Structure 1
Amino acid sequence: MKHLTLLLACIAAHSALSAPLAYTTSWLGNTWGYGDGKWMQQDIQALRVAADGTVYTNSPWDESGAEIAAYRNGDRLAVAGATHGWGAAGGDAVTSNGAYLYAAMSIGNQNGGLTGADYPPNGYTWFGITRRSTGNIAQGAPFAGGVGNSANASKNSFLIVDTVPAGTDAGIRGLAANDTELFVADQYANRIIVFDAVTMRRKRSFDVSSPGRMALDSDGSLWVITGALTGQPAIAHYAASGALLGGAPVLPAGTVPADLAIAPSGDLYVADIGPGQQILPYRKTATAFQALTPVGTLNGVSHATAGTIEAGRFNFITGMGFDASGNLYAGQNGEGPRALNSASVGSGAVLQAFKGTSRALLWELDGLVFVDGADFDPGAPDTIYTGSKIFTMDWSKTPGKQWKYTGYTVDRFAYPDDPELHIGRDVRGEPMVRRLNGNRPYLYTLDPYSHELYVHRFDAAHGNIAIPSGMFAEGFISGGYPANQPAYGEWMWRDLNGDGRMDDGEYTGNPSTSSTVGNSFIWVDAAGAVWFGTPTSGIRQMPVQSFDRFGNPVYSYAAAKTYAMPAPFTRIGRVLYVAATDTMYVSGFTQNIPYDASRWKEAGPVLARYDNWSGGAPVMTWSIALPWNTASTPPVTTVGVATAGDYLFVAELYTQKVDVFDARTGAAVGVMTPDANVGGTSGYVDVELGISATRRANGEYVVLVEDDARAKILMYRWTP
């Protein structure tokens, strides 16, 4: 009966919040918000530039299905489709000729759930090429022997190149085409296969070690990046027949070629994703190659002032090309081409078009965030951080135009141990920006599901780069990273020598906690104290003890303080401590609505406020039922909690709503949902810390919500 009573109360509270507030919806991190039906894809793994300036892109995954897309003059023309779901995925290469678009992709069978001629046998995956009409890339261009999903426009337009056991990466890494032949870099078999561009019948093949990107020269010869996935990439020159030709340029030491292009001038251009981060042009002479002036700033985005975003500071080019007028196009993703067996989705897509090879930017498209939260810098109210990026706001502009991408905080060369580069994808995605140690900014970030907390510091010498400073882990992390971590129990790391690397001797273990801290929600308050809302063992606080000579915050397990599980909770979902008022907010589950393991990421159905939390006698000021109805379709559950000023903001997981409560009384105030500016929709808030809020000096509240559907952060602006 109690369960039913509280469930009805939750439903009633949800109804009370149904009245919308007077607010506006905006976004940051993507050129388009989806109100016009467009979004910029979240990753670019390869691109092809047609003579008229149409840019075709490809990537294995875009959350909303824009793996393969076409752009021109700063606009999105089309999405290919049929590359997302039902066994289909995009790929790592793309090319075109006058009639067809050819793009790498894969087709699986969802663990045997998809059967028939359209899908590989159970336990296998097809890697190959989808062929589309350049007049309509959403329409397959069928051919004899082609396969493809008979239920959509891609029927009979997929060429199987390799059939491999499921879990094997046989992705095609390079494509090139003219009107008669299609060249396919089959890295799985260490060969280049040549197909008839019209019939798609195999004509010949020749051996090449781990072939990657390719470029066809005007004389019909083929430039190839060899050793693309071996760690020893180089450039080789082949006749169309497969005969190895001499005369490839000698690249500077440290160069890591990622793509090749032939300019209308006939010069060969090489995209370097080594420390140089430039495009290297070479002019063919009768006897050798003459190196020309590189394109772009030396060291790219890492050039001083490090992390500054401006045209010509490249950040890991994944594809480039020229139109017939000699204009240069460059796609970047902050990581470079996908590594073998990697599920990488990049660190944000940037597509730029330049006038010739100058720094004059013709247009730029951005899809910068994925599974990425955002937070305000309390010391710079017009600055917003995501896990790896900095945005500067101009609040006077129209929705979607208020943000400017101004900083990138990752340096892969200076700090190769940064967790961003090793654990999962976008592990820096849920930021908490705090001003500590003389008002210096610190970037604390939580992995999507709150298993580790990462600490980064900033200093004047390194610009916008977030220097790895510390880390908390709930237990041993499998996979070989970080090296030398304690083998059992929770642990923390601090950068004792200031080099930003996780060296042996810099870890502190705490095995006595066993698994009691596992699956905690981790929160950092304004004073830098780290709070663990353990599932069933209460709430633990680890205050900052001091700052070492490098500026790293110092924490101690011995100084930790644990508070008993506060009534009425039996399982904690979220904790949020406001140091200025000694107030603790807790959400979670109770005896009336107990924890359900299928709702492991949710914040819970109950939220309570406790005052005088650390003063020795905490007082529960109020407890309220949050929107919660797991029997509905879709389910109504909560996933994120944020506070600012006099209000609390609660993000629902499946129902695209932010519920607003008065923080002083717990009273329901209203609800905010995506408006027409963002197409009236958003993706799920798919992380445990996916919402943040601030109260601006003018009294306006701004709420930021993770939206992984279309590579952006959703933003609500509300003045009570």
Structure 2
Amino acid sequence: MKNKLLRQIGKLYQRQHINNLLRRGIFRNNKRLRFVLSVIVGFITVTLIAIYLTGRVTSVANTQTTSTIKAYTLPEQNTHTPSNTDIYTTSAANTYTFPDQDTYTPPATDTYTLAATNAYKTSWIGNSFGGGNKWVQIQVTDMYVAPDGTVYTNTDWDEAGREVGIYKNGDVIGKADDLHGWGRMGGDAIAVDQKYMYVGMQQSADGKPGEDYPPKGTTWYCIRRYNLSGKVAPFPQGRGWDKSMLIVSTKGKIAGLAIDGQQLYASDKAANLVHVYNTATMKEIRSFKVNNPSKIALDKQGNLWIIQEKNKIGHYSPTGKQLPGAIADVAQPSAIAIDNQNRLLVADNGPRQQVLIYDIANKPKQVGTFGTQGGVYSGKRGEIGDLKFYGLSGVGTDAAGNIYVSNVGFNRSGVDLRKLSPSGKLQWQLLGLQFIDTADADVGTDGANVFTKDEHFIMDYSKGSGKEWQYKAYTVDRFRYPNDARLHTTPTAAFVRRLQGKRLLYLSSEMMSERLLMYRFDGEIAVPCGIFGKGKEDWLANEPTNSSWIWVDANGDGSPQANEYQATGEKDDSVWGWDIDSKGDLWLAAEAGYIKHYRFGGLNAHGCPVYNTKAVQKTAMPQPFKTLTRIRYFPEQDAMYLSGYTSDRPNIDGDWGLVGTEIIRYDNWSKAKKIRWRIALPYEVKRDPKLHIKAMDVAANRVFAVSSKTADVFVYDATTGKQVQQLKPGPEVAGESGWIDIPFGIRAFRRSNGEYLVFVEEDLKAKVLMYRLPG
């Protein structure tokens, strides 16, 4: 009953809140809270404590040489004592005897020797830096560029605490302190003068008793003052625990900030006001009414240009008098700035994906554009180019007239920050692309092409760690395919397959593996062409609401129609296991205790994989499983790999979404389902942090399993089930990793030269780890 309640609470929480939390940038904060909420369900009052500590980071040495190690053993009742070493191994024996019906005889030995030199390299994709003190944050919602070219950014949430980032000359040079934990987060606005940064931020009621925090249920939306090195700068009458906060609202975030001399202007969208503060005292001087104020720019005359409605930029005097010259021809203004010629720069995040340039000396007149019209969708759609923008969230200029833009894609696709000369020549580019994401290699190109949920990378494995990848394309087309589930849900992991000679992309969706998405390719764009879903989806219409369903795109338009759905007749809840085998057959493993096998029906006329509710086989989970969590099938060998919990090694902690306590290989699956071996996975729930496995994959003759909180990768021989290696983040990435959060947070591939590539989710510093193991 406890397990059932935990799963139900978790699912309800996710369905109702996950999309909003991602857009607000606090998803990772609330994942911790979701677990707390699940544990204390049944109580009338729930106290949520959102304190992100450094325990979210695993910092380890790159242990590459091991000696003889005692096999990982399991006493009765799973009450074993953790060993003193951080290395956990599992022999083929697993040191216990299974029930007779399993027809499994353990080998006599319970120890073995790992290779003397388990050489491997740690690398990464998706971030300009490997980690340590240098990484590009996961999102930018506002940006300010100083005359000397220093770039200051702000966002609600960065996993490693760079809510406010400071960049210069293509390098990371700092961040603002203390915006991560104790109820504090960044925000949507930032402004800078010669002495201070003024940062829009949030403070909730999660502080220490006796200190200055809002009452329970209240959030302060503040301007917090910092010096230019990122240290807080308190002021008289300042609020908060360190007296550095100016409370602007308790209703909504500060949407824009700008400075003129000693006057700081702040957009209070919730109140339809612009407040004006003295920067020395932080006291309010005046305020005035502006409908729906957002980003602000101040021209050399001291007048304000304020983004208001969807396509309106208002013009106001410093006292709030509305002036002539409002601009209403921008499809979707998202950022605004004044350049060194007193021209107005407007980032248009609509179909144009350009920076529009206005002469504002008299009546505003568009006199130019910056960037290629259509942005990333011009020319070869999706292909990255210096002047091809996508998801513009910030624009600014320095004293020399260089133009800076921040691209964030659509629905939180990461950060692409660029400096360009006035003539459009790229000066530098910084990337932080990956969050709740992992990668998969294209077998059709021997791993030369790698895909994440939104990005395409070209690989050159002759280069050193962190240099193998080139950002080739952004595969989401917001304007041509507005019903792409990537724009409305939270995809988490890529499965790249070659079927009938065509490259296809499958994506698991949501951290609870709620659905499976299918895509065909049109050039660089991944075109929606199928979904395995269930129940009602907010962004769709006409889908079956009382059962699981399949959508296959019959007319090739990338958007579901009512006649393209098939209802399965039952709702497949708690499906943690998805797999697409090399022949295109689709497998799902349900926690409820069954496996479904959908046979691949070929590609339709538009290149979409066809699956049918009439071509499915449902099988009860085999012994000795009590709960089934992951599945991987290889038709060439008729070999099935399943994971979950067994009667011998049950789920004693009540956790959900994990791989479980065992991986079992079955040979001759289609007929005899004969157990070849059972791997007793590392499972220590009394250890701090807990040791359990979050994701697994199989490639060639290796089985890979990654732990949730320590990010250790345990490597097993797929023939014998013996552990042969253990991988930890190396010095190339400062020996650190965040937690593994997604069910498919590890993907593996063996190249034709025998080298294994192992991709592992690494949310902490906005990248994907890539281990390179010799064959």
Task: Give the equivalent residue in structure 2 for 1:328.
Answer: 403
Cα distance between partner residues in 2 of 1:685 and 1:477: 29
1:554 to 607, 610, 616: 610
TM-superposed CA distance for 1:673, in Å, is 0.3
Cα distance between partner residues in 1 of 2:208 and 2:636: 56
Matched, 1:85 2:181: yes
TM-superposed CA distance for 1:564, in Å, is 2.6
Matched, 1:60 2:145: no
Q: Cα 1:40–1:514, aligned 2, differ >3 Å: closer, same or farther?
A: closer
Q: Is the 8 A contact 1:373 1:713 kept in 2?
A: yes
Cα distance between partner residues in 2 of 1:526 and 1:86: 48
Task: Give the equivalent residue in structure 1 for 2:517.
Answer: 454
Cα distance between partner residues in 1 of 2:658 and 2:79: 16
Matched, 1:278 2:351: no
User: What SS class does the counterpart of residue 379 from structure 1 fall into?
Assistant: helix
Q: Cα 1:597–1:445, aligned 2, differ >3 Å: closer, same or farther?
A: farther
Cα distance between partner residues in 2 of 1:597 and 1:301: 47
Task: Give the equivalent residue in structure 1 for 2:561.
Answer: 503
Cα distance between partner residues in 2 of 1:439 and 1:428: 25
User: What SS class does the counterpart of residue 88 from structure 2 fall into?
Assistant: helix
Deviations 1:1-37 (A, max 9, x none): 98627765997992458967211101110011114x2
Q: Cα 1:457–1:140, aligned 2, differ >3 Å: closer, same or farther?
A: same
| Residues 339-488 of structure 1 mapped to structure 2, 5 A cutoff | 346-356=412-422, 358-380=423-445, 381-423=447-489, 427-436=490-499, 438-447=500-509, 448-459=511-522, 463-473=523-533, 475-477=534-536, 480-488=538-546
Task: Give the equivalent residue in structure 1 for 2:249.
Answer: 162
Range that drifts further, 518-527 or 212-221: 518-527
Structure 2 residue identity aligned to 1:536: A
Matched, 1:309 2:406: no
Matched, 1:216 2:216: no
| Residues 531-550 of structure 1 mapped to structure 2, 5 A cutoff | 531-550=587-606
TM-superposed CA distance for 1:566, in Å, is 1.6
User: What SS class does the counterpart of residue 420 from structure 1 fall into?
Assistant: helix
Cα distance between partner residues in 1 of 2:427 and 2:568: 55
| Residues 120-131 of structure 1 mapped to structure 2, 5 A cutoff | 120-131=214-225
1:206 to 282, 288, 302: 288
Cα distance between partner residues in 2 of 1:275 and 1:537: 47
Cα distance between partner residues in 1 of 2:381 and 2:652: 46
Task: Give the equivalent residue in structure 2 for 1:34.
Answer: 131
User: What SS class does the counterpart of residue 448 from structure 2 fall into?
Assistant: strand
1:244 to 322, 326, 349: 322
Cα distance between partner residues in 2 of 1:418 and 1:82: 37
Deviations 1:172-205 (A, max 9, x none): 1110012310000000101111111111111111
Structure 2 residue identity aligned to 1:360: K
Matched, 1:21 2:118: yes
TM-superposed CA distance for 1:501, in Å, is 1.1
Q: Is the 8 A contact 2:593 2:626 kept in 1?
A: no
Deviations 1:101-158 (A, max 9, x none): 0110000014xx7544421111110001111112x21x11111221123xxxxx1111
Cα distance between partner residues in 2 of 1:542 and 1:563: 11
Cα distance between partner residues in 2 of 1:256 and 1:4: 63
Cα distance between partner residues in 2 of 1:317 and 1:514: 39
Deviations 1:456-486 (A, max 9, x none): 1113xxx21111101012x3146x2322221
Cα distance between partner residues in 1 of 2:148 and 2:209: 41
* Identity %, equivalent residues: 38
Give me the TM-score of the superposition, normalised by structure 2.
Answer: 0.84
Q: Is the 8 A contact 1:3 1:592 kept in 2?
A: no
User: What SS class does the counterpart of residue 466 from structure 1 fall into?
Assistant: strand
Task: Give the equivalent residue in structure 2 for 1:152.
Answer: none
Cα distance between partner residues in 2 of 1:321 and 1:646: 52
Task: Give the equivalent residue in structure 2 for 1:673.
Answer: 728
Q: Is the 8 A contact 2:125 2:768 kept in 1?
A: yes
1:298 to 373, 376, 389: 373
Structure 2 residue identity aligned to 1:493: W
Q: Is the 8 A contact 1:334 1:347 kept in 2?
A: yes
Structure 2 residue identity aligned to 1:129: I
User: What SS class does the counterpart of residue 219 from structure 2 fall into?
Assistant: strand
Structure 2 residue identity aligned to 1:4: E
Structure 2 residue identity aligned to 1:691: I
Structure 1 residue identity aligned to 2:528: P
Deviations 1:633-677 (A, max 9, x none): 111111111111211111111122101100011111010100111
Cα distance between partner residues in 1 of 2:432 and 2:236: 37
User: What SS class does the counterpart of residue 651 from structure 1 fall into?
Assistant: strand
Q: Cα 1:244–1:591, aligned 2, differ >3 Å: closer, same or farther?
A: same
Q: Is the 8 A contact 1:683 1:709 kept in 2?
A: yes
Cα distance between partner residues in 1 of 2:188 and 2:210: 26
Q: Is the 8 A contact 2:154 2:165 kept in 1?
A: yes
RMSD, aligned CA: 2.0
Task: Give the equivalent residue in structure 2 for 1:144.
Answer: 236
Contiguous gaps of at least 5 residues in structure 2: 1-72, 92-112
Cα distance between partner residues in 2 of 1:668 and 1:520: 24
Deviations 1:358-394 (A, max 9, x none): 3311111100000001100111221110000011111
Structure 2 residue identity aligned to 1:221: N
User: What SS class does the counterpart of residue 551 from structure 1 fall into?
Assistant: coil
Task: Give the equivalent residue in structure 2 for 1:234.
Answer: 312
Q: Is the 8 A contact 2:574 2:592 kept in 1?
A: no
User: What SS class does the counterpart of residue 128 from structure 2 fall into?
Assistant: coil
Cα distance between partner residues in 2 of 1:271 and 1:100: 25
TM-superposed CA distance for 1:284, in Å, is 3.2
Contiguous gaps of at least 5 residues in structure 1: 150-154, 165-169, 336-343
Task: Give the equivalent residue in structure 2 for 1:340.
Answer: none
Matched, 1:567 2:627: no
TM-superposed CA distance for 1:587, in Å, is 1.0
Cα distance between partner residues in 2 of 1:488 and 1:250: 45
Cα distance between partner residues in 2 of 1:633 and 1:195: 48
Cα distance between partner residues in 1 of 2:612 and 2:257: 54
Structure 2 residue identity aligned to 1:158: M
Structure 1 residue identity aligned to 2:694: V
Cα distance between partner residues in 2 of 1:596 and 1:477: 33
Matched, 1:659 2:714: yes
Cα distance between partner residues in 1 of 2:478 and 2:767: 23
TM-superposed CA distance for 1:496, in Å, is 2.1
Cα distance between partner residues in 2 of 1:2 and 1:174: 58
Q: Is the 8 A contact 2:183 2:204 kept in 1?
A: yes
**Alignment: residue pair count:** 676
Cα distance between partner residues in 2 of 1:596 and 1:206: 60
Matched, 1:718 2:773: yes
User: What SS class does the counterpart of residue 456 from structure 1 fall into?
Assistant: strand
TM-superposed CA distance for 1:292, in Å, is 2.2
User: What SS class does the counterpart of residue 505 from structure 1 fall into?
Assistant: helix
Cα distance between partner residues in 2 of 1:9 and 1:87: 36
1:606 to 658, 662, 673: 662
Task: Give the equivalent residue in structure 1 for 2:340.
Answer: 264
Cα distance between partner residues in 2 of 1:208 and 1:503: 42
